[in-house]
Structure 1
Amino acid sequence: MTSADPLVGARSLTDLFARSVRLRGDAAALSESGRKITYAELDEASDAVAVLLADAGVGRGDLVGVLLERSHRVPGWILGILKSGAAYVPLDPTYPRERLHYMVADARVKILVGDPEQAAACGLDGVDVIDPRSSAPGVTPPFEPAATPDPQDPAYVIYTSGSTGQPKGCVVTHANVLALLEATLPLFDLGPRDRWSLFHSFSFDFSVWELWGPLATGGTAVVIPAAAARATEDFLRLLADEGVTVLNQVPSVFRFLAREYADSGAPDLALRYVIFGGENVDLDVVKAYTDAAGDRAPEFVNMYGVTETTVFTTVRTLTPADLAGAVRSPIGVPLPHLSVRLLDGELAPVPDGEAGEMWVAGTGVTAGYLHRPELTADRFRTFDGTRWYRTGDLARRLPDGALEYLGRNDQQVKIRGHRVELAEVEEALRADAAVHDAAAAVTYDADGTAVLVTLVVPAGDGAFSVAALRRHARATVPAYLVPNRFLRVDTLPLTPSGKLDRRAVQELAQAGGAPPPAPAAARTRVLVVDPIHESALAELRRTHDVHVELRPPADRLLRLVEDVEVIVVRSGVRIDADVIRAAPRLKVVARAGSGVDNIDLDAAEAAGVAVFNVPGVSAPAVAELALGLMLSAARHIVLADRQVRAGVWNKAALAGIELGGKTLGLVGLGQIGSRLAELARGMGMRVVATVDRDTPERRVRLRGQGIEAVPLEELLATADVVCLAVPLTDRTHHLIDDRSLRAMRRSALLVNISRGPVVDEEALYRALTEGEIAGAALDVVAEEGNPGRLAELDNVVITPHIGAMSADSQERIGRILLDSLHEVLAGRKVATSCR
């Protein structure tokens, strides 16, 4: 470490940061999407938050909830809380309302820092909310605290999964984090030139290392936007563009990045270190990455740890021998400020080479669990005059003194880096009146990805609704605790003593459950005419008789549907009255996405055919697609030839335009438009929108979200990017016609994520060729698969919807499609039914 000065003598995290500000005030502390925030600016922003908190009566020892989306603003808000003497409790806005309610009540949080509207949406109306964008009356920074934090004061409380079925808050002090930094940072060659990824949710303690590592060494924390974190190709590009040198990753996430890295031809990256934490490292994935990178490979470091010992406990720099050796999970040796004992059930040391439970002591061991004295006493014990934490993790000591991780000795597992108590999953499902009992297990797919499987014993008459169970789980526990699969069983397996037989549960989960497969005669005939995710297709084929023929001609489609019971469609094929009449056995038309404009609902209703779609996942996915289209169009329009011939030379258009500071005009503000507005504001764009039901109350509400409601005429005349996000109706057919295009700015871009006929494509072609607008980006054209003359233009981007959607979104849509289809075939109505 080349810049350890701020740590020397620091008594708190705020003291550490103040020293970094004095040393590196003009240097970049944070970076996000090209925006730089210096140490001095971060100091000023956090002072403003501290002033607001002090004015609200927050002081030393208080707990302040942080209900914030990940952005460059969050570190300033966290620092402001610490400056006030309080500790922060991260509350992930994606958590279900019940989970957030429990955490706020359990922590006795009375004040939140966050967006008041988001707090209300999360059901936290009874808690005082401070909006960091507001200002305290009569008080201005800099902030002078009434009392500086003591080393033993809490810095944060992070909730982890609980074995009793409820999460528990772990109290971590300033001294705990300082000890981590003082002991761990000198093990690396880190300094002011390093740029660290800030990738993880602040509800995951990996983020503590990602934030304070660079702040303690004078480096820069590069905030990874949520959209980029979910899209591996974008994430890889961001690593290159931002020059990230220290990448922190959970192994299951790195697996996808490593695959994208190899598929992209091993591009040049500035990476010096890749630091793993949260779960078992995938040695084969690391080896594949190093083989692809060659002599440009970074140093890979495996860091085992738990929240109760402050992020990390052991360290191991992975060597070629590790990657080729027989040790599956080498976690190395304890960090300098910690010690590890391996003990048996009688708390006696085990011999080297034998498995024992890891007990950890040292200055990283935390204060215990918030308001849980009995649980704290059970897990944190003092013997031999030293306070120890029993991890519940098993390890063995290797001949060289290093440790090999062997797994859990209880029912806790790791899924995508999160500690998951199977009991919490089971308790959440038992709360559903339709469930008599449940047992969870973790299996692994072909790629080594953890899959959470739950065996469910139905209550009452044995009715079993996978879709309803999944909805209940989503409303009760965080997304990482929602089972991937639900398997129906009549009873749970028990041991001779009457206890749940966990080994048998694991075997049933791996085998796919107890029920035998349906006989061939009972299999439903399914026709798939548009692409769907391969995992959903494989599951369909496991239980149904599936025929796939993508986008068949109309005459061919009429013959294909003669004996089918289910048609799975997206937007590429028209299911009209002729098709429905040609399918006498048809029961269901399932659209794998949002919208039903290509399905004749009247004909389906007359024939008794159920129709449903899957809008919930599509909305955010399409919004992210729209942002990608905007960026693509803005960066790749090439107009030089036409400009020269027309005598109009716009140099800026030759290389594209920057979207930051530009105006986005949204025509339509449903789920898609609202999410896109949020993304655009994160890029620094002004957002105006044309909406239905334009009332004064709604205008006020939109202004609070940073959106200005304007008439369509004004939007067309002022927007740099016009984005269409409206359903296709008689009123919106050719909404953008020749007259509308002439009203737009010559430098404007048109982005269409609605159905193709919303735009008059003949008029658009003329406007593009005559230079009336700069370019266009189209999701789906009027005649999908046949863009016609528009595809010939070099200032047009056209992408098929399914091809551009992220793999995660496609997979989730496929899963919901399967659940909903199961429900409809069982005669039950689903939430996404149409009519």
Structure 2
Amino acid sequence: MQPSDLPADARSLPELFARVAAVRGDAPAVAGGGEQLGYAELDRRAGAVAARLTAAGLGRGDLVGVLLERSHRAPAWILGVLKSGAAYVPLDPSYPADRLRFMAGDAGLAALVGDPDRAAACGLDALPVIDPVIDPVAAAPALDGAAPGPDDPAYVIYTSGSTGVPKGCVVTHGNVLELLRATLPLFELGTGDRWTLFHSASFDFAVWELWGAWATGATAVPVPAATAQAPEDFLRLLVEERITVLNQVPSAFRHLAREYADSGAPATALRYVVFGGESVDLDVVRGFLAAAAAAPGPAPVMVNMYGITEITVHATHLVLTPEQLAGRTASPIGRPLPHLAIELRDDALRLVPDGETGEMWVAGSGVADGYLNRPELTAERFRVLDSRRMYRTGDLARRLPDGGLAYLGRNDQQVKLRGHRVELGEVEAGLRAAPQVRDAAALVVRDGAGNELLTALVVPAGPGALDVAALRRHARATMPAQLVPNRFHPVDELPLTSSGKLDRKVLAELAPRAGARRARVLVLDPIDPGALDELRRRHDVTVALRPPVEDLLRLVRDQEVIVLRSGVRLDAPVIAAAERLRVIARAGSGIDNIDVEAARAAGATVFNIPAVSAPAVAELALGLMLTVGRHLALADRQVRSGIWNKAALSGVELGGKTLGLIGYGRIGSRIAALGRALGMRVLVDVARPDADRRHELERLDYELAPLKTLLPASDVVCLAVPLTDRTHHLIDAAALAAMKPTSLLVNVSRGLVVDEDALYEALAEGRIAGAGLDVVAEEGRPNRLHELDNVVITPHIGAMSVDSQVRIGRILVDSVAAALAGQEVPNQC
């Protein structure tokens, strides 16, 4: 199929999908991660979901909430809601519960599609909850009169509200169909394309990703949230899944472009990269294309598309040519899409001459129905001018000599930060709800490095210093992350105009310039020397390697940033002592030595950089397995005779042996893959083997085994678990007694997961054959394990390659700077 094949007379999105499915049959509609659903099968599954909704009395005119993580199942559930005739309201599980409950109540949701436990955790269990896990072979009954028409709502997406109340924008089936008919012919797309589903369904970019793929008979590849946050993993997905169409918010692409260059510009199948959601970074695009020039094959076409929810995703289209990338226009957005018209008007609603700045008004078949239950706001923003219904965007632009448009920012209290539309009024209303706040104003301040920071000026409700940490906790608990200010500054009064309104022109003069003051940084563990030098150039750095707890409580008191790897625990008392703490930077493969809840309650940003270190630790585990694995062949005889000759045992392979893996997270999954590559049988013990995890292990031919079964069956027991109450001394004397005398223990977990005294006794008495340890649990404490020659102990950072150490260090420094600037940092907490 080609874009020109899009049925002109399709009246709804389910009808469009059904027609494509009739042609594409078993061709993959959704794929990735070893999963694949053909068009016909997806249509059948969506029909079963629709039947369940219909049986519950739901259909046209109803709004159904969708509380779903990104997975291969989610598209069928969304399509199922549409096939029932209802419209869906995406609910992001990461939003605060208060906001989710408001959205559910404001929309008058008739039901919720999602996991019942997650719904309860989000405070949504008062709604009828339909668990979308259905019998995939069940026949779907016929649906009576469910088919929606072009004027029926397809979805309602909530955006930030200028009055402090989020507003739901109602978009119809006809709006989306018109977007597809007008936009897809501008690309050379077909059935062989593979599109990423990168964005949350709460962001309307996801509508374009999903239906752009399906309308052309292509394949949609969901990107798990954890992968989307880890640039190395995301780049690997692009390569392994042969992605050809990638849609990105520029701030997210910035991290991917850096990873792409650092990885030596690996060959990809990318044909298009489409930007939207915020101003494009032309310098980042130039850098990406320069790196891509060294890769085999043609570079992808880079396309910039301005758009907003109220006009159905996209409004303009521009292929970024070398001339535009080298030009002086900071943010060219191109020409209007064929189904839309964009006019530039002044405050008196008069058309402005070419070359002058005006507000963009959009007319055409993409203009949405309006705001749900907000007739006054709908009348204000959706207006009739010159006999045409138009949407007033609040965005400023000027027309260029070539007829294209240059985006110039906002003209009201709405700003765009990191791809999100943020109404300053909603931020202010949220802060005023805090008991310690009498009044508040929000604005965007640019620091010396060019970073845009959401800043709050706060008038305290009473005497005394403003408790910034408590206010940040309030903001995090009541507002989505994009609305939480990066900086809080107390002021005595807010400036007012002569008419008594907030004087926003004076606000910027009151806000201290962020970035002018150097941050205080405490480094608690060894990091790359080059990274440490760079931190010292940027900030006031104190280095205290693995201090005792009593010293740690003193050291953290004045610190704003804490940098650590392993060996030091930041528990709740330590975090409470760090009254100025803003950032915890973890350059490791896990954060089990951080009390994350305490950190977030204190208002601190916690991020981790596992994308580089996780594979390094997994490879370290493999090295330990191979090193101690040399003992396997003769271990039984030699242990029993008391002879231990390492030289005589070299070269024995692990193939055909059984690997018992305890923990299947980011590191554990990599270790399992490495073990399987050596020809090992893989047994896996996981803490909570839900249906998805069981399915994944079954697909990879790993065997799920509880600890009591895994220990006596394994030749190599490998630990890759976080330190928790459940895993403290998980391997104790009883566990060691259950292992084979010929077995080996490999531990890359940090902390007291292994009872090291019991391990010493087991090794010394020959009750197990050997052990490989990535740092003993309590460094600095005399440990008898060092005395044994059937033990290999390697310090974590020392075992990594120099390249890995340097790379982790550079990402760490950049991420600290980004976190201090209030930017989102890719992480896996």
Which TM-score band applies after superposition, normalised by the shorter structure? 0.7 to 0.9
The match for 1:388 is: 390
Partner residue of 1:238? 237
Q: Return the offset for 1:553.
A: 9.0
**SS of residue matched to 1:437:** strand
Question: Which residues in structure 2 correspond to 1:464-479 (within 5 Å)?
Answer: 464-479=466-481
For the structure 1 residues 372 and 424, does the alpha-carbon distance in structure 2 shift closer, same or farther, using more than 3 Å as the test? same
Shift of 1:665: 1.8
CA distance in 2, matches of 1:297, 1:222: 21
1:493 pairs with 2:513: no
Instruction: Decide whether aligned partners of structure 1 residues 808 and 378 sit closer, same or farther in structure 2, where only a CA change above 3 A counts.
Output: farther
Task: Name the structure 2 match of 1:696.
Answer: none
Question: Which has the higher mean CA deviation after the structures are superposed, 632-641 or 495-504?
Answer: 632-641
Q: Is the 8 A contact 1:551 1:572 kept in 2?
A: no
Q: CA deviation at 1:427?
A: 0.5
1:340 aligns to 2:359 (yes or no): no
Check conservation: 1:664, 1:721, Cα contact below 8 A: no
Determine the C-alpha separation between the residues in 2 that align with 1:241 and 1:812.
31
Kindly state the Cα deviation for residue 300 of structure 1 after the two structures are TM-superposed.
0.6
Cα gap change, 1:816 to 1:291, in 2 (>3 Å): closer
Partner in structure 2 of residue 75 of structure 1: 75
Distance of aligned partners of 1:399 and 1:274 in 2 relative to their CA distance in 1, 3 Å threshold: same
The within-5 A match list for 1:810-821 is 811=816
Cα offset, 1:173, TM superposition: 0.6
Distance of aligned partners of 1:153 and 1:635 in 2 relative to their CA distance in 1, 3 Å threshold: farther
> Hey, what does 2:665 align to over in structure 1?
none
- Decide which of 671, 685, 689 is 1:665's aligned counterpart: 685
- Per mean C-alpha deviation after superposition, the further-off stretch among 68-77 and 290-299 is 290-299
Extract unaligned runs of 5+ from structure 2. 634-650, 660-672, 823-829
SS in 2 for 1:85: coil
Tell me the equivalent position of 1:702. none
Q: Measure how far apart 1:463 and its partner are.
A: 3.4
Work out whether 1:685 is the aligned partner of 2:697: yes
Residues 168-227 of structure 1: CA distance to partner in whole angstroms, max 9, x if unpaired? Answer: 111111111010001100100111111111100000000000001111111111111111
Superposed CA deviations along residues 27-55 of structure 1, whole A, max 9, x for unmatched, are 11112323222212212221221121111
Q: Distance in 2 between matches of 1:91 and 1:660?
A: 42
CA deviations on 1:6-34 (whole Å, 9 max, x unpaired) are: 53432111011111111112111112323
The 3 A distance-change label for structure 1 pair 24 and 632 is farther
Q: How many residues align?
A: 754
Q: Deviations over 1:392-413 (max 9, x none)?
A: 1111111111111111110101
Determine the C-alpha separation between the residues in 2 that align with 1:569 and 1:281: 31
Pick closer, same or farther for the CA change 1:179–1:596 going to 2, 3 Å: closer
Q: Distance in 1 between matches of 2:534 and 2:455?
A: 15
Aligned to 2:644: none
Aligned with 1:657: secondary structure? helix
* Aligned residue identity for 1:91: L
- Counterpart among 439, 444, 466 of residue 441 in structure 2: 439
| 2:696 partner SS | coil
Is it true that 1:656 corresponds to 2:658 in the alignment?
no
CA contact (8 A) 1:337 1:364 kept: yes
Letter of the aligned partner of 1:94 in structure 2?
S
The question of whether the paired residues in 2 share the 8 Å contact of 1:289 and 1:297 is answered with no
Partner of 2:52: 52
Does the C-alpha gap of structure 1 residues 777 and 423 become closer, same or farther in structure 2, counting only changes over 3 Å? farther
Is the Cα contact below 8 Å between 2:722 and 2:749 reproduced in 1? Answer: yes
CA deviation vs aligned residue, 1:564-621 (integer Å, no higher than 9, x gap): 9668685756799xxx9xxxxx99999958999999xxxxxxxxxxxx8779999996
2:458 to 456, 459, 475: 456
Q: 1:552 to 1:105 in 2, by over 3 A?
A: closer
In structure 2, how many angstroms separate the alpha carbons of the residues matched to 1:280 and 1:660? 50
Instruction: Tell me how far apart the structure 1 counterparts of residues 63 and 278 of structure 2 sit (CA, whole Å).
Output: 29
- Decide whether the 8 Å contact of 1:58 with 1:84 is kept in 2: yes
Is 2:281 the partner of 1:282?
yes
For 1:233, what is the secondary structure of its paired residue? helix
What is the aligned partner in structure 2 of residue 760 from structure 1? 756
Determine helix, strand or coil for the equivalent of 2:302: strand
- Residues 626 and 753 in structure 1, CA contact (< 8 A), matched pair in contact too: no
The answer to whether the 8 A contact 1:30-1:72 is kept is yes
Cα drift, residue 334 of structure 1? 0.5
CA distance in 1 between counterparts of 2:270 and 2:817 reads 32
Cα contact 2:62–2:110 (8 A) shared by 1? no
- Distance of 1:660 and 1:385 partners within structure 2: 72
Aligned equivalent of 2:306, options 304, 307, 329: 304
Q: Which amino acid aligns with 1:506?
A: A
For the Cα contact (< 8 Å) 2:612–2:808, is it kept in 1? no
SS at match of 2:293: helix
Deviations 1:73-108 (A, max 9, x none): 110100000010100000001101111111001100
Higher mean alpha-carbon deviation, 161-170 vs 589-598, is at 589-598
How large is the RMSD of aligned CA atoms in angstroms? 5.1
Quote how far apart the aligned CAs of 1:230 are.
0.7
- Aligned residue type for 1:57: G
Matched to 1:548, the amino acid is T
Equivalent in the alignment of 2:226: 227
| Shift in Å, 1:356 | 0.9
Q: Aligned partners of 1:661 and 1:22: how far apart in 2?
A: 42
> Quick one: distance in 1 between partners of 2:461 and 2:535?
27
**Mapped partners of 1:126, 1:714: distance in 2:** 41
After TM superposition, the structure 1 = structure 2 runs for residues 526-675 of structure 1, keeping only pairs within 5 Å, are 528-530=523-525, 548-551=542-545, 570=564, 649-650=655-656, 656-657=675-676, 664-666=684-686
SS at match of 2:401: coil
Q: Is the 8 Å Cα contact of residues 773 and 793 (structure 2) preserved in structure 1?
A: no
Equivalent position of 1:176 in the other structure: 175
Partner of 1:316: 318
Q: Does 1:204 align with 2:200?
A: no
Is the CA contact 1:738–1:763 (under 8 Å) kept in the aligned structure 2? no
- Within 1, Cα distance between the matches of 2:768 and 2:43? 47
Distance 1:228 1:132 in 2: 23
User: What are the superposed Cα offsets for residues 93-148 of structure 1, whole Å, 9 maximum, x if unpaired?
Assistant: 11011111110011000200001111111111211100011569x97326545331
Is the 2:736–2:762 contact (alpha carbons within 8 Å) kept by the matching residues of 1?
no
Partner of 1:783: 779
- Choose which of 360, 369, 372 in structure 2 pairs with 1:370: 372
**Contact in 2 for aligned 1:198/1:223 (Cα 8 Å):** yes
Structure 1 residues 677-706: Cα deviation after superposition (integer angstroms, max 9, x where no partner): 67972871379xxxxxxxxxxxxxxxxxxx
d(CA) in 2 for partners of 1:593, 1:679: 33
Query: Structure 2 length as normaliser, TM-score?
Result: 0.78
Write the letter of the residue equivalent to 1:108: G
1:643–1:241 CA distance, 2 compared to 1 (3 A): farther
**Shift in alpha-carbon separation, 1:132–1:623, aligned structure 2, 3 A:** farther
Q: Tell me the distance in 2 between the aligned counterparts of 1:298 and 1:451.
A: 32
The answer for the alignment partner of 2:89 in structure 1 is 89
Contact 2:718 / 2:746 at 8 angstroms: preserved in 1? yes
Amino acid at match of 2:25: G
Q: Given that residues 605 and 819 in structure 2 are in contact (C-alpha distance below 8 angstroms), is that contact kept between their aligned partners in structure 1?
A: no
**Cα 1:68/1:449, change in 2 over 3 Å:** farther
Q: Contact (CA 8 Å) 1:757, 1:782: kept in 2 or not?
A: no
Relative distance call for 1:779 and 1:42 in structure 2 (3 A) is farther
> Aligned in 2, Cα 1:592/1:165: closer, same or farther, shift over 3 Å?
closer
Q: Which amino acid aligns with 2:675?
A: G
SS in 2 for 1:270: coil
Structure 1 residues 270 and 123, CA gap change in structure 2 (3 angstroms) = same
Structure 1 segments unaligned to the other structure (5+ residues): 581-585, 600-611, 688-706, 818-835
CA contact (8 A) 1:97 1:123 kept: yes
Deviations 1:374-427 (A, max 9, x none): 111111112322111111111111111111111111010111211110110111
Partner SS, residue 266 of structure 1: coil
- Does the 8 Å CA contact 1:163/1:422 hold for their aligned counterparts? yes
In the alignment, which residue of structure 2 is the partner of 1:735? 731
Q: 1:486 to 1:717 in 2, by over 3 A?
A: farther
Kept in 1, the 8 Å contact 2:528–2:809? The answer is: no
> Compared with structure 1, are the counterparts of its residues 409 and 198 closer, same or farther at alpha carbon in structure 2 (3 Å cutoff)?
same
> What aligned pairs does 1:25-44 form with structure 2 within 5 A after superposition?
25-44=25-44
The one-letter code matched in structure 2 to 1:713 is K
